[in-house]
Structure 1
């Protein structure tokens, strides 16, 4: 069968063998070794979902899923179904499997983000009562326990008593006839207890000779005194075996009753172990989950795709470093022609693509960089085999043709007509969509959802006929198959791209300087024939090379030169792309450094602000304590004006000492940077653009690159070296307080004095107005107003009244010796 041949050609069995090493159970390992791609898209989706959820558990839990205790009980279930007898070890394996599956189901049910695995274990029955019954009847050694039945316990009790009496009698015989005994030990021969007796003294201990030593010097004798007891013991042992068999048969019957459920349990445990093995293998490969796409609308994307077998060889067998390939195929393409020199990696590329498609079908992750997108291929068919294959297999032209014929028959066999598709109820909408246009209108082409891989298509025969056959075959496959990837040495196949939009060229890179392939896959550029260049560098005569060039022709040489120019242009673009990537990396590092410094400065600023706030809070708390102390002293004893005056002075001293003094504003500098001006910030070693004018704190906002920062003016200088100079603040005489008391020579009399203590503000204003009128008539230029200190509300109201009175020039508080804050002097006009 061609599909089986394809799996062999792609070395699928080796990949499955590697996968099996990640399984936790024997059943899981066997399932991995014999893993086959599913037939439907629905199965692939389900398998991939299982792997993704198991992968999530492997990366999220400390130990992932535990399969401890789960054994291969398939043979035991089959024996029980055939009414055979299960032994104690078989029953214990069934019990531990039930317990292990119960733990697995509990672990899965505890999680919420794994619905596929939860659905898988939902119908599993673990029969805890059967497990308990097995543990009751079978001990840890796999033997039937005394507690299995009362009759068995009674038989074993009697056996113990009989055995003790036998030992007692034999010990007495040995003590009485110790000279005739070869060794003072009791042993067994033919299920009989015997004493080793010296051959010359066999008559001293009468009995039955059960065995003789190799030299004949020792006879093993069963004394007549214990013959009857020995017969009783052997009869009890026979009864014990019958009762043990009864217990085992009863347990076997219970297992047979639930055999179908246990087989289902075993299948689910195997599926879980296989999903966990796929997850572990994918994690080891550093692979990513594939996404199945519609072939007619989305490109195939496999970036940095690595061959999984070469990855294994590199990690476990010290192989060469794996060179990844980039695969991106537009949905309109149907045929990819890969050209290039021998040993350049063309065959490995085919196998890598084939294995990637197979891995996606069975639910494995693909060793490629995200996103991993490819269609679901119903069939992956290959004709691979030359001296450069991984298995070193050789193929003739006839072998190639026979295999290609089977490939064509296979892709033709899966094409369903419209009637078959409508009658097939097993296909769901999703599967029909992924399979593609398998049933199309008459004016459209029917494509088989298959991936065809052809190595050295048309090789092994006359080049002219071989190239013509290869062109015809690839055109046929472009009309029938979803995607065909072929390797070739024929130059005629390179021109198909320019004749049909469904064709594309690719090549494997070759380094002419080292004469070695780089194993890189290049898209859009056909491979050059490097035979003559290699021959020249390997020392072949120049005359031979020149004659070969003449026979090749100038047209072929021009093509090679054109391809060489394209390759050089591609290399230049790659170099520029690498340089741009390096510059981007440097910019990102610089941005990160600046961001880190800015974050550090912000953190220092926050710490400083917190320390300042803490200091202010501490000062306020201490001031509050001192104020409370003054208040307590004021409250003690009788309140007098003198004590109130002292308390007021104490509070003023506290305020002057504790409250922070306002910082003087810095004077304007002689040189100021303007908005939009380019300046230099020596401290940072950067040239920046000014974004704002200096604020009151003497700071400006600048921008350099993508960063904005606020820096002091002193850190800025112009591009021509001018620095900001802040002149020293001139000292100014202390301002005189408008309410500072002034000495007056006016004599205080009863005529220019008014006492309004205890009055309301409105009443006091009327009395002051009358007093001002009297003072004006009498020619007095000052009015003494006694309002008292109290709460200060009366004084405040009087001051507001005097401030707007037309006959009051100014007013002030009286000196301390004249009443201080309790008396106001109003100077009249």
Structure 2
């Protein structure tokens, strides 16, 4: 079949071998080496979903997703169905497989969102009772244990007793007839206990000769005194074997009754192993999940930075050359792509790379290309690649290509209206015959395929095919780049530009005589050279555009990276501010609660005592003192200009936190009289404020006086104590920040010694970054050497 030939031409089996190395079971490896190609788009989507879910599962899990203990016992199930007796080793494999599948099910059941994996595992029954029965009857080597049958235990006890008696008798003979014994050991021949006797002393120990040494000097004799015991031993051993077979038969029958469920279990285990292998292989390839675009949509085929998976493997495992990625972007209206360029330039590799990408997407593998990966789901992928020349079949290259192309055409279903979702790959189409006839056949074939299939990609040397793009919008040109300086291909794929002829250039650089080249140039005319110059100019323009695009991409990546850093810092600051507000609110609420409790106590005391004016004043003082302790430290608003207290106005005396009435207007020195309760007192304007917190304007003379009497600023304490020291050694940065926030909030003023140690410096860096952004920190510095040096930071609070 042409489909099978195509898989062989694309080396699909090699990719399956590579995939098999990522499987964990023999079941999965066997299927991976012969990976079936789905016939329906829905199957491919299901396989891709499985790969994605396992990919996500392994990204989030560190342990637990293992296939240890899963065995291939499919043939044993068939034997059990036909009343055959399974060996203990096989039964033990069934039990361990049940345990392994139960372990995988627990992992999948614990996932939040993996609908396909959960649907798969929900079909499985793991029969814990069968597993327990097998483990009860068999030991870890698959041998039937005495727990399995009381009769078996009794038989084995008798066997042991007979063996002990035989050993005792033989030991006595060795002691009594030591001179006749070649070596004082007891051995076995034909399941009988014997002694190695010297051939010349045969008459000294009468019995049955079961064997002799190669030289004939030693005879292995079973003495007559133990023959009967040996016969009894053989009978008991046969009874033991029959009882063991009976136990295995019972276990086999239990397995046979659940054969279908166990077959389903193996099928699900194989699917999970294959999905895991696809996920791990895709991760190794640095591949991305494909999206199937609709054939009749306006979406292009997009495969940027596409790499040949087999060449990637060769690069990593066989010291191959680095893989040059190609960009494939085909407009939806394009039906045929003609790739031109020199031999060994990568045209054939391009065909195989695109073909393998389409196949990988169909079987649920990610495609080794940059996101987004967008490709149609092709019903058929058919190829004619390579030289089909065969001496045995009397086929020329041309004949071989035509026969394979004929099989490709025959496999299609001709239609005048509907485009078939097929991908056709043709290498050197029309080659191997007269150029004029070959070119005509190639053009006719490609135009026929443009009417029949979704996409055809063909490589060619014919110049006539380059012009099809300008005659039919369904055609597109591409070429493999060639370096004129090194006379070697770069393996890069250029779109929209046909390949130019390099024969004359190569011949000139390789030293062919100039007069010969001039004659050749005259024969082909100047038009060809002009076309080559135009193509070379287009290639240079493309190269410049790509360089500029690369620079733009780098700038965009840098901008995106900077934006992510800024966004991350902004989110961190916002989260920190939210946490700070929450902590402050909790502190205020706690203070209010405490104040209410204390005020309630004052009221109770007042209610219990005599209600006199003196007691009322004491209660008022207590409440004011509580308020001063619990009132939030809010920075007073800036004073309004030209504010002066008026006679009769209520003002607050800041230092006593009392409200009084203004009796006299301020004099030139800024003094005024206020009534505070029953007392009158003279105070300065600097000591009062309005009830809404506005400070009055103080005369310049008083400002100078006050400033001269002003106490020095509350500098940070220079003495380090246990209260202003925070030890963060051993903390991670995120945990250290929360500890540091709590310490700053409780310290409120002064200096804070932060011990972070030296170590790698990450904790010190994290602490100092936190201090830079904290609104309550005025500055910070590294402690002196006698205070800890680089291992300690001193922060000064505002």
Deviation digits for residues 197-216 of structure 1 (CA, Å, limit 9, x no counterpart): 33333333332333333333
Alignment of 1:324-723 (within 5 A): 324-386=325-387, 396-412=397-413, 445-584=417-556
CA distance in structure 2 between the aligned counterparts of 1:612 and 1:408, rounded to whole angstroms: 79
Q: More displaced, 200-209 or 83-92?
A: 200-209
CA distance in structure 1 between the aligned counterparts of 2:532 and 2:140, rounded to whole angstroms: 77
Describe the shift of the 1:134–1:317 C-alpha distance in structure 2 as closer, same or farther (beyond 3 A): same
Describe the shift of the 1:532–1:9 C-alpha distance in structure 2 as closer, same or farther (beyond 3 A): same
Give yes or no for contact 2:342–2:502 (8 Å, CA) kept in 1. yes
Give yes or no for contact 1:386–1:395 (8 Å, CA) kept in 2. no
- The answer for the alignment partner of 2:118 in structure 1 is 118
Paired residues, number:
655
TM-score by structure 2 length? 0.72
- The answer for the alignment partner of 1:199 in structure 2 is 199
CA distance in structure 1 between the aligned counterparts of 2:680 and 2:462, rounded to whole angstroms: 117
Describe the shift of the 1:563–1:64 C-alpha distance in structure 2 as closer, same or farther (beyond 3 A): farther
Largest Rg, 1 or 2: 1
- The answer for the alignment partner of 2:99 in structure 1 is 99
- The answer for the alignment partner of 1:256 in structure 2 is 256
CA distance in structure 2 between the aligned counterparts of 1:351 and 1:196, rounded to whole angstroms: 72
Give yes or no for contact 1:209–1:222 (8 Å, CA) kept in 2. yes
Deviation at 1:540, TM superposition (A): 1.7
Describe the shift of the 1:663–1:90 C-alpha distance in structure 2 as closer, same or farther (beyond 3 A): closer
Give yes or no for contact 1:88–1:138 (8 Å, CA) kept in 2. yes
- SS at structure 2 position matched to 1:69: coil
Describe the shift of the 1:180–1:511 C-alpha distance in structure 2 as closer, same or farther (beyond 3 A): same
- SS at structure 2 position matched to 1:348: helix
- The answer for the alignment partner of 2:296 in structure 1 is 296
Deviation at 1:580, TM superposition (A): 3.5
Describe the shift of the 1:177–1:339 C-alpha distance in structure 2 as closer, same or farther (beyond 3 A): same
TM-score by structure 1 length? 0.70
Alignment of 1:124-273 (within 5 A): 124-273=124-273
CA distance in structure 2 between the aligned counterparts of 1:69 and 1:86, rounded to whole angstroms: 18
CA distance in structure 2 between the aligned counterparts of 1:128 and 1:522, rounded to whole angstroms: 61
Deviation digits for residues 370-406 of structure 1 (CA, Å, limit 9, x no counterpart): 1111111110000010499xxxxx9701000000011
CA distance in structure 2 between the aligned counterparts of 1:599 and 1:275, rounded to whole angstroms: 37
Describe the shift of the 1:168–1:570 C-alpha distance in structure 2 as closer, same or farther (beyond 3 A): same
Give yes or no for contact 2:450–2:474 (8 Å, CA) kept in 1. yes
CA distance in structure 2 between the aligned counterparts of 1:113 and 1:251, rounded to whole angstroms: 38
Describe the shift of the 1:665–1:186 C-alpha distance in structure 2 as closer, same or farther (beyond 3 A): same
- The answer for the alignment partner of 2:49 in structure 1 is 49
Structure 1 unaligned blocks of 5 or more = 389-393, 416-437, 439-443, 617-638, 668-734, 740-790, 804-810, 823-829
Describe the shift of the 1:332–1:600 C-alpha distance in structure 2 as closer, same or farther (beyond 3 A): closer
Structure 2 unaligned blocks of 5 or more = 390-394, 589-611, 649-656, 666-670, 683-798
CA distance in structure 1 between the aligned counterparts of 2:38 and 2:319, rounded to whole angstroms: 33
CA distance in structure 1 between the aligned counterparts of 2:90 and 2:246, rounded to whole angstroms: 16
- The answer for the alignment partner of 1:621 in structure 2 is none
Deviation digits for residues 517-575 of structure 1 (CA, Å, limit 9, x no counterpart): 11111111111111111111222222222222111211212211211121122222223
Q: More displaced, 533-542 or 3-12?
A: 533-542
Q: More displaced, 504-513 or 535-544?
A: 535-544
- SS at structure 2 position matched to 1:202: helix
Describe the shift of the 1:585–1:278 C-alpha distance in structure 2 as closer, same or farther (beyond 3 A): closer
Q: More displaced, 475-484 or 579-588?
A: 579-588
Deviation at 1:582, TM superposition (A): 4.6
Deviation digits for residues 15-58 of structure 1 (CA, Å, limit 9, x no counterpart): 01101111111111000001121112222222222222222222
Deviation digits for residues 151-179 of structure 1 (CA, Å, limit 9, x no counterpart): 22211111111111111122222222333
Deviation digits for residues 440-470 of structure 1 (CA, Å, limit 9, x no counterpart): xxxx622221100001111111111111110
CA distance in structure 2 between the aligned counterparts of 1:107 and 1:600, rounded to whole angstroms: 34
Describe the shift of the 1:563–1:220 C-alpha distance in structure 2 as closer, same or farther (beyond 3 A): same
Deviation digits for residues 255-312 of structure 1 (CA, Å, limit 9, x no counterpart): 2222222222222211221111111111111111111111121211111111111111
- The answer for the alignment partner of 1:316 in structure 2 is 317
CA distance in structure 1 between the aligned counterparts of 2:258 and 2:584, rounded to whole angstroms: 78
Give yes or no for contact 2:388–2:400 (8 Å, CA) kept in 1. no
Give yes or no for contact 2:387–2:400 (8 Å, CA) kept in 1. no
- SS at structure 1 position matched to 2:68: coil
CA distance in structure 2 between the aligned counterparts of 1:289 and 1:364, rounded to whole angstroms: 7
- SS at structure 1 position matched to 2:180: coil
CA distance in structure 2 between the aligned counterparts of 1:814 and 1:473, rounded to whole angstroms: 111
CA distance in structure 1 between the aligned counterparts of 2:584 and 2:142, rounded to whole angstroms: 77
- SS at structure 2 position matched to 1:203: helix
